[in-house]
Structure 1
Amino acid sequence: MTTLRMAAAAAEFGRDLEEDFATVEHLIKDARNQGVRLLALPEACLGGYLLSLDDDTALDTGPPALALDGPEIRRLASLAGEMTVVAGYCESAGDTRYNSVVCVSGDGVLGNHRKVHQPLNEDASYASGDRFHAFDTPVGRIGMMICYDKAFPESARALALDGAEIGVCVSAWPGARTSPAADLAQDRWKRRFDLFDRARALENQIVWLSANQAGTFGSLRFVGSAKVVDPGGDILADTGVGAGLAVAELDVVQALETARRAMGHLRDRRPDTYTYAGAVTA
């Protein structure tokens, strides 16, 4: 039996890259001290998220745009060392900016994903990605997505069909914009965040790591709630609405085999029946 100790972080990040890297370094050190080999950090942890989800791009210039092959990502990889670390950032690709997430180890970049689904006015700040794919890492085959991506079942299903054993979703998921709950733990957007995490794990029978921003930034109050979910949809560790690390240990291969033994959701699919408007879905 080979177990994997993994963690998802809830933490607060802003525009100052040096402060963000100090937080990242602290989280990596904390995780390393707990024997963690796979760590998921939130969306936009390098440079912070948007100040608002309204059409308020004049509020500031947004997060700094970083090149995938630039010094900041190399610095992240150096901090990761022997660990596998997933972190969100604003990616610069020529004149185009993407809301992206990168997976690194001390050996360099292992994978990169550009956010496909953009909520509200996020498309005023970022271009959209166009695919989902899984990739191999020292801790297993991983598929990544960002925040609103997980509201679409097809996103996680595409990753699972590409062989992902572990789904990693990094977020800057806030509380409700209208009629917010005084107690963030009772907020309806937090409830949706948690439901999506559990459903995506269960319906694809994969391990699920969910990292999220915590605290406040601009007009947004983030719900935290970083967690590790097993292939049966059960939460193994959760930070609650505050900052912290959700840490869990699991034999990933055995957990997937056990979950899929009787009812294999991927195996028992009937794609020929999933039609709409004359089209067949993947």
Structure 2
Amino acid sequence: MIRVATAQMETGKDTDRVLRQILELIDEAAQGGADLVHFQENLNYPTSYDNREHAWNEAITIPGPMVNAISERAAAHGIHVSFNAAVRGEFPNAYMVNHLIGPKGEYIGSNAKQILMWIERLAFVPADAPNAVYDTALGRIGLLSCMDGLIPETARTLALQGADIILNSLCSNGLDEAHLHIPARAAENGVFMIAANRIGDMVKGADLERLIRESGMTREKVMGAGESQIVGPQGEVLARAGRDTYGLTFADIDLASVVRDTRLAGRRPECYALLTQPNETLTALTAGRADAGTVTVTTVSPAGADFETRLASAIAELGTVPAGFAVLPELFAWDIATLVAGSALQAQIQQAIAAIESLAAERATYIAAGIPEIVEGRLVNRVVLIGPDGAIGQYRQVHADPALGWGLSGDDFPIFDLPFGRVGLLLGSELIYPEAARMLARKGVDLVACPATWRDEWQVALMLAERSAENHMTIAAANRADSPFDAPSAILTTPPVYRFPDTMEVNNPDRFDAAGRGATLSAEIDLAPNRDKRLMGSTDLILDSQPQLYGRLVEAKAAA
């Protein structure tokens, strides 16, 4: 077992006070038996700068007084220390950097922040080199900062380098960081995530008044959100601080519970080339899209004892819901456990498609349905898209579902332009792979139809919401009425207005849940807000990513 601690405190321009408190908290962590203590972002100076030159002047050097003092205290206690402080580059460029100090006071390494948020963009430059993972006596450790955790690539590249623990330094006033994004990154990568966030005011006096004036928010809304936490590999919160509590939060972690290799085993890096292509090339992929509009999205989860009953139930229910866009669950009319490739199944497949085509034509509606396929005598999982004029296309599952044991089938993420926006297709088990939804987002998809069979709570609570949030896309997930995990179908979508000034949520989708597993859900969804990928009116979830740093995503094999 390893004992770890995460700290939270108030930063500020009184840097002597800040450093003194850092050293005191290192002492306290050591007294509490911690092997590692992790600190928040911007410890050398708050992100309140006049310009880039100002940020450079306030940035630290390595070695230098701050690093030296922390290294000496780490060595005195034989403890690992991680913290974030801006570092000078070539004038006037400065970088927001995470630092890792070893128990002998040695400087182990650092990672610079890749995605800059809000006013950081005026003061700093983003990382110009890929991040690294460091071997330590505790295990392999990766580091990232705040906004880097609001998109999937940075944490993923750390996991692909064999990280057991990812340390996240934040300077956030967003309440959704602790309750969605941080647990989601831990779960999708199967690693421990230790996050440290600030509390209190970022700045004081005239600086605070200026920040409030320029942001258009109240003092409460620009205060640190706290809730520093330690999260396990299933996304479970092992320990979490309060929103305004100064000090340390401890937890004992066992690296034997890391499931990173299991999470990464089903990846298809040969299918992800678009994730490393320059953002400038994406313009061609979105050219010619229809304007995103409003459409009634419906999920239907038929029940029944056999194929005929389930199919009849689905068709009957689809005949009563509003026309627009409907999603049926994974393998919606079949008993998954008894599916066998053969002539009988082929006849059922043809019957189901014919019935849906007839209804789509009659209702002038669009339907995405989980329907099996038989290819060279083996079963293939897929989604079929049908419209008023018949079959439009299909998606063969790219990431094999171990629960089905059907092996690989698809190798592409097709997109379809419909009158109300651009549509993509996925299967529910693929939400664990952020690369899948990210591929669709980079192709300009507004709406993802996701036939599903929920098997784990974190699939529903974390993966579904995170895929919608990090890509600003609508996801309509239709769950089977007999799914192993009892959870309803759901529709998640980008809010019609950016709500942070009101809710203090940096990036949280609107969520509509059916009344229960098996219940029908309809919601009128405006897809247009999905086209705005910005957070805080500035940082773009797609165009501010750093694909030139994501080479690990397309490597054939993860580093051991």
TM exceeding 0.5: yes
Question: Partner residue of 1:108?
Answer: 390
Structure label with greater radius of gyration: 2
In the TM superposition, 1:90-101 aligns within 5 A as 90-101=372-383
CA distance in 1, matches of 2:337, 2:410: 18
| Sequence identity (%) | 24
Residue 486 of structure 2 is aligned to residue 223 of structure 1: yes
Aligned partner of 1:38 in structure 2 is 325
Question: Tell me, what secondary structure is at the counterpart of 1:154?
Answer: helix
Residue among 355, 360, 369 paired with 1:75: 355
Paired residue secondary structure (2:426) = strand
Residue equivalent to 1:256:
530
- The alpha-carbon distance between structure 1 residues 105 and 127, as it changes in their structure 2 partners (threshold 3 A), is same
How far did residue 17 of structure 1 move? 2.8
Name the structure, 1 or 2, with higher relative contact order (CA <8 Å, separation 6+).
1
Contact 1:68 1:92 in 2 (8 A): no
Q: Which has the higher strand share?
A: 1
- Opposite residue 335 of structure 2, the aligned amino acid is G
Segments of structure 2 that go 5 or more residues without pairing to the other structure are: 1-291, 495-506
Structure 1 segment 183-202 matched on structure 2, within 5 A: 189-202=456-469
CA change 1:117–1:277 in 2 (3 A) is closer
Q: Distance in 2 between matches of 1:277 and 1:126?
A: 21
SS of residue matched to 2:520: strand
Task: Specify the alignment match of 2:337 in structure 1.
Answer: 50
Q: Partner amino acid for 2:357?
A: A
Give the secondary structure class of the aligned counterpart of 2:539.
coil
Q: Is the 8 A contact 2:369 2:384 kept in 1?
A: yes
Range with bigger deviation, 125-134 or 106-115: 125-134
* SS at 1:208 equivalent: strand
Per the TM alignment, residue 172 of structure 1 is displaced from its structure 2 partner at its CA by: 1.6
The aligned residue for residue 298 of structure 2 is 7
Give yes or no for contact 1:236–1:248 (8 Å, CA) kept in 2.
Answer: no
1:145 equivalent in alignment to 2:426: yes
Q: In structure 1, what is the equivalent of residue 370 of structure 2? A: 88
- Is the CA contact (8 Å cut-off) linking 1:147 and 1:173 kept in structure 2? yes
Distance 1:126 1:106 in 2: 32
In structure 2, what is the Cα distance between the partners aligned to 1:69 and 1:109? Answer: 13
2:440 alignment partner, one of 144, 149, 159: 159
Residues in 2 aligned to 1:12 and 1:19: alpha-carbon distance in whole angstroms: 8
Structure 1 counterpart SS, 2:319:
helix
Provide the residue aligned with 1:173 in structure 2: 454
Aligned counterpart, 2:309 = 19
**CA displacement at 1:39 relative to structure 2:** 0.6
DSSP-derived class of the 2:336 partner: coil
Do the aligned partners of 1:215 and 1:224 also contact (CA within 8 Å) in 2?
no
Equivalent position amino acid for 2:308 in 1: E
- Secondary structure of 2:381's counterpart equals strand
User: How far apart, in 1, do the equivalents of 2:554 and 2:396 lie?
Assistant: 30
Alignment check: 8 A CA contact 2:299 2:522 kept? yes
2:543 maps to which residue?
A: 267
Q: Quick check: 1:130 aligned with 2:376?
A: no
2-side partners of 1:72 and 1:277: how far apart? 38
Contact 1:10–1:224 (Cα < 8 Å) also in 2: no
Tell me the distance in 2 between the aligned counterparts of 1:277 and 1:37.
Answer: 36
Structure 1 SS opposite 2:522: strand
Q: Which amino acid counterpart does residue 311 of structure 2 have in structure 1? A: F
Query: 2:340: which partner in 1?
Result: 61
CA distance in 2, matches of 1:250, 1:141: 14
Query: Could you tell me whether the CA contact under 8 Å between 2:329 and 2:369 is conserved in 1?
Result: yes
Change (3 A) 1:236 1:173: closer
User: Within 2, Cα distance between the matches of 1:169 and 1:23?
Assistant: 20
Q: Which amino acid aligns with 1:213?
A: R
Q: Out of 237, 251, 271, which is 2:512 matched to?
A: 237
Distance in 2 separating the partners of 1:118 and 1:226: 22
Are 1:9 and 1:39, in contact at CA under 8 Å, matched by a contact in 2? yes
In the alignment, is the contact (CA less than 8 A) between 2:293 and 2:421 conserved in 1? no
- Tell me how far 1:200 sits from its aligned partner: 0.5
- Give the match's secondary structure for 1:21: helix
Cross-structure match for 1:177: none
Equivalent-residue separation in structure 2 for 1:163 and 1:110 (angstroms): 18
User: Structure 1 CA distance, aligned partners of 2:554 and 2:367?
Assistant: 42
Contact 2:469 2:508 in 1 (8 A): yes
Cα 1:49–1:270 shift into 2, 3 Å: same
**CA–CA separation in structure 2 for the residues paired with 1:277 and 1:8:** 33
Question: Is contact 1:68-1:91 (8 Å) kept?
Answer: no
Q: Is the 8 A contact 2:367 2:386 kept in 1?
A: yes
Compute the RMSD of aligned alpha carbons. Answer: 2.9
Alpha-carbon separation, structure 1, partners of 2:379 and 2:340? 12
Displacement, 1:109? 1.1
Verify the 8 A CA contact 1:213 1:224 in the aligned structure 2.
Answer: no
Deviation at residue 79 of structure 1 after TM alignment: 1.3
After superposition, the C-alpha distances for 1:9-49 in whole angstroms (9 at most, x for unaligned) are 334355x33212211112212323xxx40111100013232
Relative to structure 1, is the Cα distance of residues 194 and 172 closer, same or farther in structure 2, using a 3 angstrom cutoff? same
User: 1:262 offset after TM fit, Å?
Assistant: 3.1
Which deviations, in whole Å up to 9, do the C-alpha atoms of 1:150-185 show, x marking residues without a partner?
1100000111112211111111223xxxxxxxxxxx
Describe the superposition over 1:40-83 as per-residue Cα deviations: whole angstroms up to 9, x where unpaired: 110001323236xxxxxxxx637964489944312211112311
**Helix, strand or coil: the match of 2:368?**
strand
Which AA in structure 2 matches 1:7? T
- The one-letter code sitting in structure 1 at the alignment partner of 2:313 is T
